[in-house]
Each structure stands twice: as C-alpha cells, then as structure tokens.
A and B are shown apart, each in its own frame.
Chain A
C-alpha cells in the first residue's frame, strides 16, 4: 500500500527524521494561510501517488502567500500527468505547502526489503533527485548498499560507511546516523517494504533534511497496523481494484476486451499470456482464489462486468480441491442472476471437470465450453472478435 508524501513526512517526523515544516491544504485559501504561517520561500506540491511530479507542473516554488494561493488554485482539480502516472494522469485533490529549503547537495537514501539476500538493504547515492533505477543502470558505482540482518539490525559502522562514502564530513555523518537510524526503525516498526528519501538534502548550513518521502507498506502486515491502513486514500486507487480488495479478490485492470476469471494467481497470469498468444487482449487479471465457490464466482462476474470494454469473458478453473461441477453451477447461476449478455467461454479442468462440462452443455445459456488452455484462449479471442 502506498501513502501520500504529507503522510510519509508526518511518520518520518515521528521517527526523528528531519523534514521541512509543512501544512496540507485542500483549497487555495488554506494554501495561502499555510504559506503566510510558514513565511519565506514556499513550495507547493501536488499530492498524488506517483513520482516525477515536477515534470508535470505538480511542484511550484513561490515567494508569497498570494503566489501560493495561485499555485494551489492551478493544481487543485487538475489532472497531473507525470512519467509515472500513465497517459490518463491523476487528479490532484490535495496540495502540501512546505517551507523551502536551501539546497547545497541532493542525495538519495532508502531502506528496502532485499529479496535476493533475504534481509534489509540500506541504499545511498550521491545522485539525489534522480530516479534511482536510472542511476543503477547508468552509473552503478554511484550506488552504495549495506545489508542488515533482520535479527541483528543496522550497525553504526554501516551508516558510517555510507556517510563517508557519500563524501559527508564528520559532523554530517553524525547527523546521518540519527537520520538513517530513524528511517530504519520506521521501516521495521511499520512493516514497510520501501522507505525512500529522494532527495535527501544537505543544506548550505550542513543540515540534513528529507525533501521528499515515499513509503510503501507490506500489504500482508497491514492487519497489525490499523494506523497505517487508515492512511489508505481510496481516491488514488482504481475503483475496480478497490472493490475487489473489499471482497478479497485479487484484481488488476488492463486495457483489453476479454474479461478473465481464474482460480490461482499463477494460472491467472498464464491465462493472460494465453490470450495474448492467441492474438487477443485481456481486460483484467482476476484471481478468484484457490477456494473459489459459487458466491465468489458471482462477485467476480460483477467486477468484470463493471468494465465496459469487456466483449467476452473467459473463465478458467483448474479444479484441484475446488470441484468443477460446483463451479459450473455457480457460473450458470451468476450468468442468469446478472443477465450476462457478453459471450462466455468456460474452461474447466481437473476434479469433476467432465461433470462440470456436462452441466454447462445442458444449460440453456450461450456458454462455450473449452477443454484445454489453448482451446480456451482461441475461443475467447474469437468470441471477443464476434466470430465465434
């Protein structure tokens, strides 16, 4: 789960990481008031769940409360397109009004779960303010990494390695210690999967300040962090993905026209691949879960049908423990209840698949039954093209 910059900064502050003073505003008047309270040079920053905001006009440096008001007026309600939002962009509903910082150097700092080493990595770079992936690709020597054993934690010498490696002087390295310790503690205590500060600014007075902050939380750990879970901003999520989340289905919206319902994440990904190989384009990823039942099937259909692009639906169930005959009954019941009008291709395999296919064949609904994965892909693509 992602949160906004203003929320991340509030958490950073709680963990002793220095951030500039700032106030959240949802109207131009609030922004103006915030700017006059803060005084001096002000930065107005659009709050959306995507980076690269400066490139799309989502970050403005202003010199007076009146200018802050104008900047907020321009941003609020606009659709901000950045390299990370995709073409459709994201609507700006809030701005963060922040005291400007006097920047001498821009660095990069992050704590993340290192999958390969199965521990936590602290990454630092002299190339702050740039996308770290690009730095890693073009100038990997400019990335410093130390790894911490999750049961031992991060040692002070590791932070010194990073600090002197970044070219900081001794007093700054002391400050970095406080900074990194706070960030690391936040990462662990809040079950983050990424805690990133980019840029980490060294001011001309030699102070360290987190100019931007990005936090991702481990979805699997949200059950023990209701405070983090409450930071979820539904406006930032695809409404279908949000609805799926509420009924415990894994759903990802895509651009194509073939709706998919599959049991199991791996098979669901593979089903999308099958459709593409057959020349079609999937409308979504949907994992109805290993224990898909009648009710789940109906909910999944509802979700798929919310997408108006869908011209055909492919149901692909490999019955392991799930019985295909029960799934077939569920598909028929849902198709009737929901009055599904788009062509339906159903592929049942595994436990009681024959019985399931018989039930489908005997129904009075227009359901095409497939046996193999290849058949299912071909039939779904033909159905979406209207040639079945």
Chain B
C-alpha cells in the first residue's frame, strides 16, 4: 500500500513543453502509467510516444485517466488545476513555481465543490517507490518500505529520502507538498493519509520557516496520530522579513519562526533533527527496527 498514487494510477501530463515532456518520459521509464498529455491545439499528435489531447476532459474520456501532473507556466497554471478538477480527476499534482497567490486562493475556493485532491503547487511531486512517479523527483534514490515522507521542499526532500535509503529504511510514499503560501494538500492532510495507511509505520516531516502549517501539524499529531513522526525544520537562521527562495518561506510580523515550529513539535512529542545532516538518523533512533 501507499498513499495518493500506486501502480494503478493512470496519469495525464498537462503542459507538454520541454520540462513536461522530459519528466513524462522519465515517469514512463519508471513504470508509471502515463496515458496521455494535454496541450491545447496539439490534440491528435504524439510526444514521447504519449497521445496528446486538446483538453483534459477529452483525455479522460479516451484514456480513463484518474490523475494529472501540471507543468503549465504560472499564468495558466490555476486554470489548469480547475480544468483537472472539472474533468473529474481524483488527483492533480502541480509542479509549477511562481503562481500568483491570488490565483491559488481563488482556485482553492472554487475547488471546494470538487472532490479532487491537489498536491502543490511549487512542489517536486510524489513517488511511491517501484510503483509510480508523478512530477520531477529522482526516483532512483527512493527505496520501497514503511516510511512516509512529507516535505515543503524539493532537493531537501531528496536529501532526507537519500539519508533514509542509505540507512536501509525504505519509503511508502514520498510527498512534496510545495513551498508556496497557498497549497493544496497540507501537512495535516498528508499525515492523515499516512495514518490511515496500514503499511506506513513511521513518518518523516520536513518543514521550513513561514506560515503556521508545522504548528497546526504538531497539534494534529498530538491529538490524532499513533504512527510515530520525526521532523526537521529548515531555516533556523533565516533573517526575518526575507523571502528564502520559496514564496512561502518568510518570517513576517514575528510569525513563522523555526524556533516556534520546533517547540510546537517537541511539545507534541515529535523529535526534531538538530541538523539537516541527521534527518535519517533522528528517525532511525526514534523508530528502530524499520531498516532492512
């Protein structure tokens, strides 16, 4: 078992430009069922052997797709998310970085009427090892196993996954939830999915400065979770008022500090790695016996 995606996921790619096509090919090679691409005006053609459709609705009708990965550039990305929701998909993963916050706030409000789950935007996507790759993660560093990984970051997720894999600890699903201010799936959503997954025996959560998602997650863990969680919070030395790369990674008005997040997690009984070099070890020490 896994969460969000597995070998039965039938994936569409919205936005078959250079990046979309490249990663569609890598996902195909990994064994993901990439059943179609969406590129308005290019319907009827093929890219990387993948049939292309003009709209998501047409693609769903022809292929039975249930998920989509979105590479559409920022001006059209929120529209692409709404198109995926309207076509009745179960899941959309939006990789696009740089979507205006107001567009995302509007899209999320509009999506309340839909049952589609959104992951991202500004995220690396998902990998269920040896089953399904959605997005841009380097799937070769993952290893099948019992640990769920949730992260607001891209390469720092790879770092955490790599540390786990090197300790012999495999992953059920690796989820990049994205570094923007307004995102689809939150820490709490992903934690709840892992909690309900019988094969996930532990969770590594990677947060960062900005917002209060980690504090909310800490509260949720304390009251609702039996699965053990360890964490790391990036940006412990970030100056206030500066945007640290991610649109959402900013300490403003005294809120969003790493120290507050770490304190909240510790209060909830979640061990937080002291440095990014010991994310894997902190988990292995807290939840022994999962390496193989």
Contact = CB atoms under 8 A, between A and B. Distances in A.
Interface of A: 113, 115-116, 118-120, 132-133, 136-137, 149-152, 188, 191, 193, 218-221, 223-224, 250, 252, 254, 262-274, 276-277, 282, 285, 287, 290, 318-321, 349-351, 372-374, 377
Contact of B105 (A150, A265, A267): A150
Given A113-B101, A263-B155, A319 B138 contact: yes
Given A151-B110, A377-B275, 13 more contacts: A113-B101, A113-B182, A150-B105, A220-B99, A264-B155, A265-B244, A266-B154, A266-B234, A268-B244, A269-B234, A277-B274, A321-B138, A350-B138
A120 to B, nearest CB: 7
B181 interface: yes
A3 to B, nearest CB: 15
A255 to B, nearest CB: 9
Interface string B191-227: 0000000000000001011011000100000000000
B151 interface: yes
B102 A149 contact: no
Interface in B248-285: 248-249, 253-254, 274-278
B152 A266 contact: yes
Interface in B231-248: 232, 234-239, 242-248
B212 to A, nearest CB: 6
A274 B158 CA distance: 16
B245 A287 contact: yes
Contact of B106 (A115, A150, A264, A320): A150
A285 B244 contact: yes
Interface residues of B, number: 62
A374 B102 contact: no
A220 B109 contact: no
Interface of B: 26, 74-75, 98-106, 108-110, 124, 136-138, 140-141, 151-159, 162, 179, 181-182, 206, 208-209, 211-212, 216, 232, 234-239, 242-249, 253-254, 274-278
9 contacts: A119-B105, A120-B105, A221-B103, A269-B244, A285-B238, A321-B136, A321-B138, A350-B162, A373-B277
A349 B140 CA distance: 13
Contact of B159 (A133, A191, A254, A349): A349
B101 A221 contact: yes
B249 A373 contact: no
A221 B100 contact: yes
A297 B137 CA distance: 21
Nearest to B105: A150
Given A265-B245, A270-B276, A374-B278, A220 B153 contact: no
